[in-house]
Chains A and B, each alone.
Chain A
């Protein structure tokens, strides 16, 4: 089971590292697209997330959600988030 706070923290750090954006700009409702994340990055992020959390993450998880908030809700619906 994943922990919401841990997932949010990791995603923020990952996006800061990938894009060089300020952490403050990476809010729950900021569209990935506006952060400069393209479809390739979205799949890369799924791979890194799977490695980091040791849980299978679908390749399309980030692609099919526009924001961190939507992604978190998606994980919850899939029963992956406590």
Chain B
């Protein structure tokens, strides 16, 4: 009996991806993909010139209809390898992933299959994301690397729930013109075989390393082909692992690489025009996808309505509302318009008069995209990673999710009567401390101190080899140095300054080991550096009570910090699971 031909063929191009390809193939395998049977699809990997090409037998346990071919005539551009793969595909619907470092979400293949059924000549397009705190070409210049990425992936246990990839991949790379704007390209797309034939596959004239703009060109040619319709799959995505690729991971050379790709495209096509045809959207298809996706995409975009809107009056509700209002103020969520207006002036040589008379008073009208982006960044605590703007103008830069999580931790401590004080090491303007103190006061917790430890003069310059290159001292990052007087003043302004707020001024190496802290119910570390993180853990961890929380602000965001935590936990044999709060915050509860 002849086996039935697959419904879907997917061509995946690999080049020197020994670390990334196993994850990619796992994410495409029937062990992980949902709603689609193993016999419904085939995956064809074309290896484009790796020194040690992948072997199909190494992936036999995935149960995947997999074929791995070594492309006989590799070139820096993968375009010819893709076209070779297209010739091998057996299914009527054929997909291409030009970059084998991209992992899939669990419902991706089934969603693409269903999306294709919605139109006779569909151009099924997907959304792509980059793993890690931000655009990899930027974050890799700040130390983001494969070890860091491995920690993030381990932290979310992605094999168990692939939708958590959204949690560690806040940067969506092909939606530069908005979620419902034209995509700049589709890094995994499916077309019917007839359309591939009509287009002649990818255009081999694109000879740039990595293919240059060949992928965008293919999408635009497909959309301009008569009778086609773009169907964009929502609720699913593909996720780029860092791998030193020529485009996504070009680092400081990225601008030059993109310029050359645009130049080649302009030479070949004589114009540059983003094709913006009418589109259909398909998805989301599963509840879990919808939840993760909504968390990721809607963060900060919409105001959450309260169940019941009532006038504020003294009562049990008032305390909750006070904390909500306090958090909004600490994050400066109510002052975002001003921040966005100021951002618009950054780098300008002159200020147009209309700024003062119009823009400043109509930020939602004049600067809508920037305001929407700012809301998203603030919700996720990502302000510090944007190239265009500095730290927020609120009292904290940890973002909505970490602040909410901190509130939950303090509430748990109070509810379960976990013994001890609360403490933060590395406080910047004091926002997280202000929230903790407000909650203590609200609960009438007269017996607990709040410890505020900081140099109040910025971070120390890097001294250990682990911190080499991470210089956040006052000279390099003046915005991080906030005086004790200013933090005290913030406590006073909020009516929260009393004798139970205990300041520990000085570098951690000098202050923590001998400090008067006896027992801690919560220890929050936000010292960024390897040295600061390790010093604080060594000096204070033994004072954390059973049931107490240890929160690490920079675990996902700074490899140096994560290394200190990992080494400390290994040295102490700490097995309590480390959970990720968002893309960078991590915590565990002492058992």
Which residues of A does B touch, CB under 8 Å? Answer: 14, 17-18, 20, 29, 33, 36, 38, 40, 43-48, 50-52, 57, 59-60, 63-64, 66, 70
Known A-B contacts A51-B263, A51-B266; the reply to A17 vs B348 at CB < 8 A is no
Query: A-side binding surface: helix, strand, loop or mixed?
Result: helix
B267 CB-CB contact with A under 8 Å: yes
A70:B271 contact, CB within 8 angstroms:
no
Interface centre among B261, B262, B263 (most CB of A within 10 A): B262
Known A-B contacts A59-B255, A60-B255; the reply to A52 vs B274 at CB < 8 A is no
Task: A47-B264, A52-B266 given; name 15 further pairs at CB < 8 Å.
Answer: A17-B271, A20-B276, A40-B176, A40-B258, A44-B258, A47-B260, A47-B261, A47-B263, A48-B262, A48-B272, A51-B264, A59-B258, A60-B255, A64-B347, A66-B349
B259:A50 contact, CB within 8 angstroms:
yes
A51:B273 contact, CB within 8 angstroms:
no
Tally the A-B contacts, defined by beta carbons under 8 Å.
61
**Least Cβ–Cβ distance between B371 and chain A, in angstroms:** 13
A51:B258 contact, CB within 8 angstroms:
no
Bound-state CA distance A38–B259 (Å) is 14
**Least Cβ–Cβ distance between B510 and chain A, in angstroms:** 43
**Least Cβ–Cβ distance between B137 and chain A, in angstroms:** 11
B255:A43 contact, CB within 8 angstroms:
yes
B473 CB-CB contact with A under 8 Å: no
Contacting A at CB under 8 A, from B364-382, are none
Return the chain A residue nearest B255 by Cβ. A59
Return the chain A residue nearest B267 by Cβ. A51
**Least Cβ–Cβ distance between A40 and chain B, in angstroms:** 5
**Least Cβ–Cβ distance between A60 and chain B, in angstroms:** 6
B262:A44 contact, CB within 8 angstroms:
yes
Can you report 8 A-B residue pairs in the complex whose CB atoms are below 8 A from each other? A14-B272, A29-B352, A43-B262, A44-B258, A45-B272, A48-B263, A51-B263, A64-B347
User: Which chain A residues border B258 with CB–CB below 8 Å?
Assistant: 40, 43-44, 47, 59
Interface size counted on chain B using CB atoms at 8 A: 25
A43:B272 contact, CB within 8 angstroms:
no
A47:B176 contact, CB within 8 angstroms:
no
User: Which chain B residues border A47 with CB–CB below 8 Å?
Assistant: 258-266
**Least Cβ–Cβ distance between B228 and chain A, in angstroms:** 20
User: Which chain B residues border A48 with CB–CB below 8 Å?
Assistant: 262-263, 265-266, 272
Return the chain B residue nearest A70 by Cβ. B349
B496 CB-CB contact with A under 8 Å: no
B344 CB-CB contact with A under 8 Å: yes
A18:B266 contact, CB within 8 angstroms:
no
Contacting A at CB under 8 A, from B237-289, are 255-256, 258-267, 271-274, 276
Bound-state CA distance A24–B256 (Å) is 31
Bound-state CA distance A37–B262 (Å) is 15
Bound-state CA distance A38–B387 (Å) is 13
Known A-B contacts A38-B176, A70-B349; the reply to A43 vs B259 at CB < 8 A is yes
Return the chain B residue nearest A44 by Cβ. B262
